[in-house]
Every structure is written in C-alpha cells, then in structure tokens.
Amino acid sequence: MPHSTAFDDVYFSRHDGRAETEHVFIAANDLPRRFREWRESRPFVIGETGFGTGLNMLCAWACFAAHAPPEARLHLVSTEKFPLDRNDLARALDAWPELAERAERLMSQWPEPVAGVHRLWLDDRVTLDLHLGDSVERLALLDGQVDTWFLDGFAPAKNPEMWRPELFAVMAARSRPGATLATFTCAGVVKRGLAAAGFRWRKVPGFGRKREMLAGELATPVVDRRRAATPWFLPPPPRPARHVAVIGAGIAGAATAAALARRGVAVTLIERETPGSGGSGNRQGALYVKLAAETNVQSRVYLAGLLYSRRWLEALDPERTLWDDCGVLQLATSEKEARRQSRFLAHHSLPESVVHGVTADETSRLAGTQIFHGGLEYLGAGWVRPAALCARLAATSGITLRRAEVVDVAPHETGWSLMLADGECLSADQVVVATAALANRFMQTAALPLQPVRGQLSCLPLPPGAPTLGRVICAGGYVSPALNGVLSFGASFSPHDTDTGIRQADHAANLAELEATLPAFMAALREAGARLDPAHLDGRAAVRAASPDKSPYAGPVPDAKTWRRDYAVLARDATRVPDTPGRHHAGLWISAAHGARGLASAPLCAEVIASRICDEPMPLEGALVDHLHPGRRLIRELITRQTNG
C-alpha cells in the first residue's frame, strides 16, 4: 500500500482502491452512460488534480474501452507535483492484475520528472497529458477545456496548499459548460471553494467508511480572461476536419499527417518528390537540442520537444530500426562554452537522467575514443534515420500520398482549393503548409519571414576494423555512430544559400571540424585505412529554413493585413492592447522553420497543430503554444517599430 511520507496519507483506500475509484469518480460522474452516448468528433476530456499512482485514470480508460463507441476518443489531463518513480509506480499498480496491460503501457512511457506537460499515447484512442507541477499553477497554464473533473489529492487537512480557492477558480475557468465533478471529501473548505467558483455541489453516499462525498457540476460558466493581454493568440474556432491536405512530406509534414490520421482524419499528403526528400532526407541525423544557459521559452519548447520525440519514437518504433537513443555528448571545446555549460547546470534543476555534466575522462569513456574536453551528456538523445522515418510516417493508415506540386491555395465556402502544377485542383476542409524554406511562397503565408540555410552532410564508408563511436558527438558540428558501416558527420551551415550541389570545400570543412573535435578518433581512422580525402567522400546537401528568432512556426496562419490594421496602435504604444481577437485564414495552418533541430521540434509541433484542429487540450502550456504561434513575428514587428521610434 503506497503511503506518502510528505503528507502522511495513503494514495487510495486501504479497503479496496479500485472499488473506491469506481464509486467516487467513475459512477459519481456518470461516465459509463456518458461514454456510451458520446458522439462528438473531439475527445471526451477528463481533468484530474493529483495523478498519484494513476489508478483513477486507468479505471477511466477501462470504463471508456468497455462503453464508448469505436470512433470515440478520450483525453486525460492530470496534474502531479510529486510524481512517483517508475519502480514505485509498478509496485503500487501490481495490486490489480486486471489492469496490468494498461499499467504496462503507462509505465513504458513514464516521463522524467521535469516540470511541464508530458503527452503519452496510451492507445490509438486514448491520450494522457501529465502536467508535472503544482495543480493550481499547471491548470492556470492549461490550454484546453475539461468535461469532467476528478478532484483528488491528499486530504484537505493533510494538503491544504492544494485545496485553496485558486484551485476551484481555475477549474471553473478550464471547464466546458455543464462540466461535472466528483471528490471523496466533504470538507467545508471544498464546499465553499466550489460554490464561490460557480460549481453546484451536492452530497452523495461515500465509499467504505466515508458516509458522504461530493458530486456536482458547473452552474455558472466562467469567461476566461487570460487572453486579455494577448488577444491575437486567441485560437480560431473549431472547423470541420474530415479531410485535411498536408503540403510537404518532410519530418514536419509527415509527422503532422500521421498525427491527424491517428485521430481518424482523412489526410492527403502532397509531396513533389518523395517523403523526406528535402532537408529531412539525410540517412542519419542527430536528435538533440542546445538549451540556453538561462531558462527561456525557446529552450523550454525544445526540451519538451526532445522529451516528446523520445517517447514518440519509442511508441512508433520500439524495435529501434529508425533510431537509437545512444545518448549525445555536447562538448565544451572552448573556455567560453565551458562557462556557458557551467551556468546552464547551475540554472537548470533537471534530473541527471535528462542531462548532466561530464569530465574529459568521462566523455572519452562514453564515446570510446580519447577526447580532451568535458561537456554535457543528454542520455535520452541520439540519432534518427530521418528519410526512413518520413517514409514510415507517410505509410500511416488513413494517409493518401500524392506526388504533385502545389502552386496556389485558395479558400472557398466550405474549405480550401489546392491548385497543382499540372492544372488539377484538389479540395480539402483544412490545409497544413509544411514545405520548409518554401512555406511562405503562398499569398496567405508570405508575411512570415523564413531564412533558407544550406547544410551539407559528409559520409565516410569505414574500412574493416575502423573504430566507431559510442555516442553522438556535438561541438561545432556533429558526428554520429556509424550506421551500416558509414560514418555521417557535418554539417555545413550557409545562410541564404539554396544550392543543393555537393561541394568539396564543404567536405573539407566538415573533415577539418571533425579533426579539431576528435583528433584521436581521426588518427585511428587513418590507421585503419579510412580515405579521409574530400574527393572520396559521399554526401548530401539540403536547404532548411529558420525563423528570425530561431523558433519554429506551428499554428494557424494569421491574416497579416488584418493584424497590422487591428493592432496598429502597438506601433505607437505597446501597452495599449486592443480587445480584438486575431483573425486567421480559417482552416490554414503552418509547420515550418524547424532549422537543424527538426527531429526535436517537428513531432511536438505536429501535436500542437493536430490538437488545435481536433479541439483538444494542447500538449504544451499556453505560453509555449503562444511562442510557436506564427503571428508572433507580426506583433514583434509592430512593437519594434514603436521601440525604434
């Protein structure tokens, strides 16, 4: 029986924890009937305060599987300030063998204890978002709405910090009209807090020795005012999404297409060449991020993306045919970088299982070659086969792959028309543009600045007996452990260059960078007979795209002309925020500007777009979703104009 030493309280009833959950949360919220009658295209959303062992959510999942129609979907949102580790979670859930299969699915994706949102795919129809942190803070940052609440947590007398008025107020603000709730407690502070927030409660029979508990519903809907300071980021209202066209089958487009298809949306994936033929076409790419020394929203987005990509790849390819989480060593090859990494470790309280500092001796041992620099080790990072990954995603059931070039998109009464280069016209309810450096070629996306960046990767066939590496090594460039006898390293970085021809000068630069970073490894390659000559290297050059602030664009495409008119006052006074929601090109979305970190950003950005299209809670807290919004550049443009006079 799990017992919290922090709160001196049990996680569930000593009498029968599952029976308690079924009575308090499942039955009191009338979930069997509501699941049977659910016919919405969006998922049914359950919110919970206090994930604990996950028993409540596993029971809700089992109830959904038993009662919901096959096309229905369930979305679980749960907060937890003190997450159990995986071993304690397994011990706690061992008591219910009938839940073992579901518990194993949960534990296989159990996230590292990093504050923020962690999205887990429990099965094809059930999603769990774990919001790690204080319940009030996490729900205040939740971008989504809830249909029913499991108001759980340690007893009010044991954990008064959770059961405070702010909790009930934020629950009401995140509730859909008519949202229900249930809780095991009848404490006065709970009844008063619920009533003050607009909930109508009633006493109902409790479980076991508890004579009474509370159930209720939201009687007074709350107007959510959190967008008052940023009305331009107010999401566009949901639209039909029976058929979505995704333009571009690189990692951004293929991941978005797969995310939509998994939700039952019919997707036409349009690519002028083959999946992964552009910047996502390398045979091997590094899955890693470089986080800022001081925490900022961009680093938080990329860290969340790295952690999500790791879980996503595990679920997509558990055999690891497309990727390897061998770990990444980010070397400090200069005094300046060493100081930066030292500040990073001082400012980030991340678990060592995510990132930690290593000495030169440790980097040498981990890499399998002598290295003269310490650095950071990202344990869950590694490498991916991006071209093969894009092909796998494009083959997802529900996706129709179409080889064509889209030359124009135009709205019509019920959706969008896509004009192809051969003169054909396609129609779709909604459109996602994911064409990297070409993503702003359409009239609707032209206002979004994109910078093309050429990069050339070098590939060296290794002779028998040649050494290889135990980790991906990153410094000025990167090198991956050999794949099928070929060492991949690079890549060059040439802004505003769109030529994709192979250059011996870039091969030479990549070799020089590798020599400077790993001289002992290069000496061992020469001794083994490797031909370290630019003329004998294979390689691939491609063009990626970056935004001015180096963060991706992921979200609805703003109507730039209207934004500049509606928010023109910001150019005169940035404190005068008009009470005008931002207008968007309804049903048009973009995922672009992923630069060299697309393997860590594109899968999570695909979830951002698919979640918004399908009217679901978002996989990131609200401020991070806003940071990805394509319209941020338009607002910055106006405010910068005011700042510069």
Tens of pLDDT, residue by residue over 361-395, are: 999 999 999 999 999 999 999 999 999 999 999 99
Please answer whether residues 152 and 642 qualify as being in contact, where contact means their C-beta atoms are separated by less than 8 angstroms.
Answer: no
Closest CA to 382 of 459, 311, 319, 329: 329
Residues of the chain with CATH 3.50.50.60: 240-279+388-450+548-560+586-621
Query: With helix as H, strand as E and coil as C, how does 93-138 read?
Result: HCCCHHHHHHHHHHHHCCCCCCCEEEEEECCCCEEEEEEECCHHHH
What is the pLDDT, as a whole number, of residue 130? Answer: 98
All residue ranges of the chain with pLDDT < 70 are 1-16, 153-154, 158-159, 642-645
The helix/strand/coil state of 366 is helix
Amino acid making up residue 184 = F
Beta strands (DSSP E) in 462-563 are 472-474, 478-479, 486-490, 494-495, 538-546, 553-558
* Cα–Cα dist 369/27, whole Å: 60
Q: How far is CA 419 from the centre of its chain?
A: 31
Identity of the amino acid at 247: I
Tokens linked to 198: 């607009």
3-state secondary structure of 493: coil
Say what the pLDDT of residue 3 is: 47
116-121, strands of its sheet edge to edge = 116-121, 126-132, 74-80, 44-49, 146-150, 175-183, 212-218, 199-205
Residue 185, classed as helix, strand or coil, is coil
> Which CATH number does the domain 240-279+388-450+548-560+586-621 belong to among 3.40.640.10, 3.50.50.60, 3.40.50.11820, 1.20.140.10?
3.50.50.60
Sign (positive or negative) of CA dihedral 350, 355, 356, 357: negative
Q: What is the pTM of this model?
A: 0.95
DSSP per residue, 380-441: T-EEE-HHHHHHHHHTSTTEEEEE--EEEEEEETTEEEEEETTS-EEEESEEEE--GGGTT-
Residue 365's closest CA among 356, 354, 374?
374
Condensed to tens digits (0 to 9), the pLDDT of residues 119-138 reads: 999 999 999 999 999 999 99
Query: Which of 510, 528, 471, 276 lies closest to 388, judged by CA?
Result: 276
CA angle 83, 86, 91 (to 5 degrees): 105
From CA 299, how far away is CA 550, in angstroms rounded?
11
Domain 325-376+451-545: CATH class, spelled out: alpha beta
State the span(s) of the chain assigned CATH 3.40.50.150.
3-218
Q: Is the distance from CB of 21 to CB of 55 less than 8 angstroms?
A: yes
Q: Where in the chain is the domain with CATH 3.30.9.10?
A: 325-376+451-545
Say if residues 357 and 379 touch (Cβ distance below 8 Å): no
Helix, strand, coil: what percent of the chain each, to 5?
Answer: 35, 25, 40
The per-residue DSSP string of 17-65 comes to HHHHHIIIIIITTTHHHHHHT---SSPEEEEEE--TTSHHHHHHHHHHH
On whether the CB atoms of residues 558 and 589 are closer than 8 A, the answer is no
Contacts of 121 (CB under 8 A, 6+ apart): 109, 127, 311, 312, 315
Sign of the CA dihedral 273, 247, 73, 317? Answer: positive
Residue found under tokens 């070929």: 486
> Three-state DSSP class for 279?
coil
Question: What are the tokens at 512?
Answer: 């020089």
- Give the whole-angstrom CA distance, residue 503 versus residue 13: 68
Rounded to 5 degrees, what are φ and ψ at 293?
A: -60, -40
- Where do the H-state alpha helices sit in 184-239? 188-197
* Beta strands across the sheet bearing 415-420: 406-412, 415-420, 425-428
Cα 114 to Cα 325: distance, rounded to the nearest angstrom = 19
Output the CA–CA distances (angstroms, integers) from residue 18 to 93, 95, 487, in the order listed: 10, 9, 53
DSSP structural state of residue 472 = E
**How many CB atoms sit inside 10 A of residue 395's CB?**
12
Contacts of 98 (CB under 8 A, 6+ apart): none
pLDDT score, position 221: 84
How many whole angstroms from its chain centre is CA 478? Answer: 24
Rg (CA), the chain: 26
Which residues lie across from 215 on neighbouring strands?
182, 202
Q: How many Å apart are CA 455 and CA 506, to the nearest integer?
A: 9
Beta-bridged to residue 204, according to DSSP, are: 213
Nearest residue to 36 via CA among 65, 67, 71:
67
Predicted pLDDT at 108: 94
Determine the CATH number of domain 3-218: 3.40.50.150
Asked whether the beta carbons of 369 and 524 are under 8 A apart, the reply is yes
List the beta bridge partners of residue 149. 47, 181
Tell me the C-alpha distance between 298 and 119, whole Å. Answer: 19
